[in-house]
Chains A and B, each alone.
Chain A
Amino acid sequence: AQTVTQSQPEMSVQEAETVTLSCTYDTSENNYYLFWYKQPPSRQMILVIRQEAYKQQNATENRFSVNFQKAAKSFSLKISDSQLGDTAMYFCAFANYGQNFVFGPGTRLSVLP
């Protein structure tokens, strides 16, 4: 069974600084997808960024980028120029080709003014 681990239950960062959230996963598959989702307080979950495992190039979306290390089964999220609106729970998720999504336990990120 696939598992996703996020070793940082809570993190904080000063506004405008950079923070990196860690994620590792376990799978024997070769084709899969990795995601970072954001869940603001009392609001619905939204996708931050997605990475296909067959792509070597790391995905980037504006201030958000990932460091995907397939051999190490590591998928970290870097948030640059942190903003107060980035305060949220962040979930790393894994999905095999065509299968359901498996989520990690989450990291609570607080952006401090």
Chain B
Amino acid sequence: DTGVSQDPRHKITKRGQNVTFRCDPISEHNRLYWYRQTLGQGPEFLTYFQNEAQLEKSRLLSDRFSAERPKGSFSTLEIQRTEQGDSAMYLCASSVPGQGNTEAFFGQGTRLTVV
């Protein structure tokens, strides 16, 4: 078990370009979360999946953002037509919800810089 893996670790893109991030959760973790964190702030919830089903999306997730988890394993987060305000750390986490919430295990994040 190597933990939650995110790729790439860093991404610099020009405004208006599309970017895609990947998250590989801990195997057998059926729940996967995406969060966004700006400098000095707490993580803000974006969306989460239970297996391949996207169960909830935050109002923060504009129509330029889309997330998928096609086979219930890895997930991708795509941002279209990036804006400078999208610059942030994008965190992925996974967990195994049972009788209640167990802890969420976080990846190291993908830092996006839009120039």
A interface residues, Cβ below 8 angstroms from B? 4, 31, 33, 35, 37, 43-47, 50, 52, 91, 95-106, 108
Contacts and interface: CB of A to CB of B under 8 A. Distances in A.
B42 A105 contact: yes
Interface stretch (B16-24, B65-73, B105-113): B105-113
A98 B97 contact: yes
Contacts of B103: 35, 47, 50
Nearest to A103: B42
Nearest to A54: B100
Interface in B64-115: 91, 93, 97, 100-101, 103-109
A103 B107 CA distance: 16
Contact of A91 (B42, B45, B97, B107): B42
Interface in B1-59: 33, 35, 40-45, 48, 56
